[in-house]
Structure 1
């Protein structure tokens, strides 16, 4: 059973990576951007639920994944709801939430796979936990500036 949950988790994560890139690279209007965004959020729900199940199942060695899943999906949900509810400053919440959650998915992929990659597996593991955020945060601020209301 755990194997099927892991396969579902991996497939949903792959959908997140692809649909996230599609949403980021599309014109920001109804159509490709919104379709990819809906697909991204739906797949992220699956990643979130399967991550919770697997972390609870292997609590001793994976409890940190429980909290990472909560935090990452919280970003995705806030970005998703911001655009749906259009609250004040929604564009910054949308960009920050969606791109922040994308950083979370990229971090997970990197951290899980780097130990299997020769040369990279000799580098400090902590570097790979922070590198996606170090690269991604300035990009979030640039995109928020680009779409700043009244600009």
Structure 2
């Protein structure tokens, strides 16, 4: 069973890493973005669930994997919820900003996992993707906020 979990984890991680950039760069409308996004979401679920299974085999050493898996799954669920529900209480484009931040966080998790694996668990591999990814998300969020229509206050006279 351990080997099956490792294969699922590696395959899901590979698919997620390969699809992250195309999903991020695809025009944000129905079609390519949603199709690639669904496959990416499936890879994210596979990665997270296999992380929990692998954690069960060696909790003392793989606790970081379980934490990253839980966070990633939470970010995915939140990102999908905002994309499907598009709640209006967050402003005209607020749902997009939440979706972008949450799904961007899943990409950071994929890159972090890959970096940690390739570096043998070096601390920089845990921190660098988060710092760089957060800066990219912040820049993209600022652009999205700037594109949002401005509410104009109308002054009334008595």
TM-score by length of 1: 0.88
Which is richer in helix? 1
Is contact 1:56-1:63 (8 Å) kept? no
Distance (Å, rounded) in 1 between the aligned partners of 2:108 and 2:140: 14
Map 1:56-71 → 2, pairs under 5 A: 56-71=56-71
Q: Deviations over 1:49-79 (max 9, x none)?
A: 1000100121122123212211122112211
SS in 2 for 1:147: helix
Question: 1:118 maps to what in 2?
Answer: none
Gaps in structure 1 of 5+ consecutive residues: 116-123
Deviation at 1:82, TM superposition (A): 0.7
Which residue of 1 is the match for residue 22 of structure 2? Answer: 22
* Aligned counterparts of 1:5 and 1:94: Cα–Cα separation in 2: 29
Q: Do 2:44 and 2:72's aligned partners in 1 also have CA atoms closer than 8 Å?
A: no
1:101 equivalenced with 2:98 (yes/no)? no
RMSD: 1.5
Secondary structure at the residue paired with 1:60? coil
Which residue of 2 is the match for residue 120 of structure 1? none
- TM-score, with normalisation over the residues of structure 2? 0.85
